[in-house]
Amino acid sequence: GENVEQHPSTLSVQEGDSAVIKCTYSDSASNYFPWYKQELGKGPQLIIDIRSNVGEKKDQRIAVTLNKTAKHFSLHITETQPEDSAVYFCAARTGTASKLTFGTGTRLQVTL
């Protein structure tokens, strides 16, 4: 089955700096890659996603890039703000499979 690895497990940046979180996946048939943000005491919430026919997608301060050859994808957050502090999960889905396979999460802390 699919295996998703995520790095780093923790990341601390100063407010205004950029943050990058990286994930690799194992199944070359995976075609959908969402990113979820989980705030303390809440369930994860989708923040951006990308499909395998696209190399990059942006939404304001966040962007995701996908390298299908290398089987890795990354989340980029620019001009970080304290409210960006949360745990971020990458995930992958293979074809029309029912489940998303998640990475182990990255705890991002944005310091003032």
Report if residue 7 touches other proteins, rule: CB under 8 A. Answer: no
Q: Which is nearer to other proteins, 42 or 58 (CB)?
A: 42
Report if residue 105 touches other proteins, rule: CB under 8 A. Answer: yes
Which of 24, 33, 34, 110 contacts other proteins by CB under 8 A?
34
Q: How far is the CB of 17 from other proteins (least distance, A)?
A: 26
DSSP string, 33-95: EEEEEE-TTS--EEEEEEETT-SEEEETTEEEEEETTTTEEEEEE-S--GGG-EEEEEEEEET
